[in-house]
Amino acid sequence: MVAFTLVIVGGLNWGLVGLFNLDLVATLFDSLGLTQLVYILVGASALYLAFTHKSDCKTCMEVMKKK
């Protein structure tokens, strides 16, 4: 659940960067020096979800059963 939440935060942040050139993560965490840590956690969460997705996803499991 933590990984999923961090990936959502990362996706929303990229959307804000693209639409408004607003990096909300940097705005919120830069004063604490945690921006890089948040980016690393978001990236690690994305990798975790990418590698564990098949075992968690019911749709993927159905597709794998058909093969």
What is the structure's pLDDT at 39?
A: 96
pLDDT in tens, 12-47: 999 999 999 999 999 999 999 999 999 999 999 999
What is the structure's pLDDT at 56?
A: 73
Distance between CA atoms of residues 23 and 6, nearest Å: 15
Q: Global pTM?
A: 0.78
Average pLDDT over residues 34-62: 87
Residue 54 has pLDDT above 80, yes or no: no
Residue 67 has pLDDT above 70, yes or no: no
Q: Is the dihedral of CA 42, 46, 12, 56 positive or negative?
A: negative
The full set of domain ranges for the chain reads: 2-66
